[in-house]
Structure 1
């Protein structure tokens, strides 16, 4: 009788209509596939049941988080090789319904059902790390607070392991030349990451033209890195707002340790509840992804209202590629179920349009896409180096969620599936004097 790996390899190829780019190692110890390829480890039949009940990305993610699937070798290589078979198929290159019209594919699915065993009749329970009560993009103050708590209240000690001493959870700004380097090149996650995050914060401060005595609102202030940097190095007074209690506690301690309590206030507050404008500048770094498509204009209008005439907004936000049919878009299953519940991504053009509809004049858009691939690889290196500690602080499943999430996103940025952009906008006063220099990009560094 054919071993499990050979059967799996044959059946998967029949379903996909092409050869698998990875080698399979099955639960019986057998292997099949290209000899030099990275190895996808199918540890048990439950992995097949998860894929059969939820074909595509979410089924694969559930199997990974539960430990039913693993990788022996370079995780990035497996994700990169599998990207075409997962992402592009789910985007319509060859959907499941079309696949199953092929008699060979239908026969292969029947073979997978037999190989999965009798228990295939019942769907495996999702791993406990999965969100069981979908928020469905309501984006009320209550649901947004729940979503933020799920992602950010994992534990400050865990985030310190991943992010390093800077505690900056957004794309870093790497020195000239680094983004063009080989994506597999080693990144100094201890020193270079810190320098790149410092440079990113300073880039934002320079784009905002911060000056001593000004008021800055930092929306989604995280663990206080931007607030501390702006107050300490640029002399501004900062109000930082977050929905995460754990972030606020951490940020307030950092502010106190830096001796900046007279210049920095950290609040647990929704952006819709801020009423103490005007501010001279607003930074929103990695926060707008949580706002939601239906609420984005309201978000932009609120920030416009809080800015003084001539004030600047720096909106640092992840984007996605546009689709021909935008009505068919939904955030991918794994991210929504395990990482960013209720998160929504938009093309950068949509973001610019909404900011302008709110009254802003958009003056500069800078893509940092390659920078995020490098940043994510540095975070993965941090997680790998402290894996046992990360598991002890959370759970094996939660640590696997973060490893898959960061590695897959790194591949997504490198393959131009995802982007990240800094949009600089001005609340231009009546009369049109924006206050911007004629040659604005003196901040390029």
Structure 2
């Protein structure tokens, strides 16, 4: 960036970072900030990184620069950038606001080069506002179908590359930190089914069934299970899996919105990793629907990501990176908000637990699997999107570790209005812990 108004990249960095920050920045203009031995080594490879950050001085500017290769890190593994993200977090105490003079110099240096429309990565979806302008009102059936397809209809093989052969894309449950991911996922499914305590011949509805792993496990217990998803690829894969297992008489997957399920009087309902797509303002309606679908004494197991802090005035929701690249219209709420919604819909909440640490472990396994299958992942979805997923998984693992987000399971019961004794339909103590 070279004319009379130019400013070296190292000068821009020093305007916002203390001199003793544990980072080295080497830039395309030959300037350097920080010591050679710094644990975090950043490369600014193009002036386009500056234009991106000038247009979006937030995480979108950083994410675009990283995805497009204008900002890179020494020693990084694109399948698992967790170490670099940890080191970036360590820079927070060293950040400071630029002085008025430095801010003016940076602005002048950028403006002197004229307007540069920021490049948008191919893997980036439209913003929430752009989606609304195109007629996709969040959490309507049309919008939900579009956003679910954006995330899930990529490639079944790509998902298998990192979630593994259980095809289970939700938090696993580990007995020990060294338990294998596949065993921990089967452990999670067993925990859910044990909590519901359904008997052979009873009926289960799995809302947001994914590729069908929970439906198939239920059918193997003799439970008659229906799963619904808005993803055509998931349902096609799951139906073929059901046929291979010879479970057609007990298990079925449908491409269907949960609001359109015609059956009633289910003995149990599972909602595992589904609520993130529902929208916090729709929780009460969602639970009303499930209350309607269950028979008296029917049980609901709701398993979802939650936010750890929900101060008054905070709008529950996902950040802009996740909204544009991973989960359009994703929405999160606190466990207290969710429990209140369950209560207001008429449910009795009989158990809830936080599995935050388990999700961090799950995500580390997924990053490891993505690394092991990196070449195939790139073949399936392209280098750019594979890089996005490495970033997404690592960022989520870090967020769970820092307690920014949590994972809660709620077991709730539709009360029996006929007044049968409690022990007739719900044991006095948690039976799944025996």
Shared fold per TM-score greater than 0.5:
yes
For the pair 1:23 / 2:24, whether they are aligned, the reply is: yes
Residues 335-358 of structure 1: per-residue CA shift (max 9 Å, x gap): 011100011011111111111111
> What is the aligned partner in structure 1 of residue 152 from structure 2?
152
> What is the aligned partner in structure 2 of residue 161 from structure 1?
161
TM-score (norm 1): 0.87
Map 1:58-207 → 2, pairs under 5 A: 58-73=60-75, 75-83=81-89, 104-113=98-107, 119=113, 121-132=115-126, 134=128, 135=131, 138-176=138-176, 178=177, 192-207=180-195
Q: Cα distance, 1:294 vs. partner?
A: 1.9
> What is the aligned partner in structure 2 of residue 53 from structure 1?
55
> What is the aligned partner in structure 1 of residue 427 from structure 2?
437
For the 8 Å contact 1:217–1:283, the answer to whether it is kept is: yes
In the alignment of these two chains, the number of paired residues is: 416
Structure 1 residues 39 and 247, CA gap change in structure 2 (3 angstroms) = same
Gaps of 5+ in 2: none
For the 8 Å contact 1:311–1:427, the answer to whether it is kept is: yes
For the 8 Å contact 2:10–2:31, the answer to whether it is kept is: no
Q: Cα distance, 1:328 vs. partner?
A: 4.7
Secondary structure at the aligned position of 1:39 is classed as strand
> What is the aligned partner in structure 2 of residue 184 from structure 1?
none
For the 8 Å contact 2:65–2:71, the answer to whether it is kept is: yes
> What is the aligned partner in structure 2 of residue 8 from structure 1?
9
For the pair 1:209 / 2:215, whether they are aligned, the reply is: no
> What is the aligned partner in structure 2 of residue 32 from structure 1?
33
What is the alpha-carbon distance in structure 2 between the residues aligned to residue 379 and residue 368 of structure 1? Answer: 17
Structure 1 residues 264 and 202, CA gap change in structure 2 (3 angstroms) = same
> What is the aligned partner in structure 2 of residue 181 from structure 1?
none
What is the alpha-carbon distance in structure 2 between the residues aligned to residue 239 and residue 432 of structure 1? Answer: 28
Residues 302-332 of structure 1: per-residue CA shift (max 9 Å, x gap): 0111111111111000011223333455421
For the pair 1:278 / 2:265, whether they are aligned, the reply is: yes
What is the alpha-carbon distance in structure 2 between the residues aligned to residue 327 and residue 375 of structure 1? Answer: 28
> What is the aligned partner in structure 1 of residue 311 from structure 2?
324
Taking only aligned residues, the RMSD between alpha carbons, in angstroms, comes to 2.6
What is the alpha-carbon distance in structure 2 between the residues aligned to residue 8 and residue 360 of structure 1? Answer: 58
What is the alpha-carbon distance in structure 2 between the residues aligned to residue 32 and residue 305 of structure 1? Answer: 62
Structure 1 residues 163 and 400, CA gap change in structure 2 (3 angstroms) = same
Q: Cα distance, 1:444 vs. partner?
A: 3.6
Structure 1 residues 81 and 425, CA gap change in structure 2 (3 angstroms) = same
Gaps of 5+ in 1: 179-186
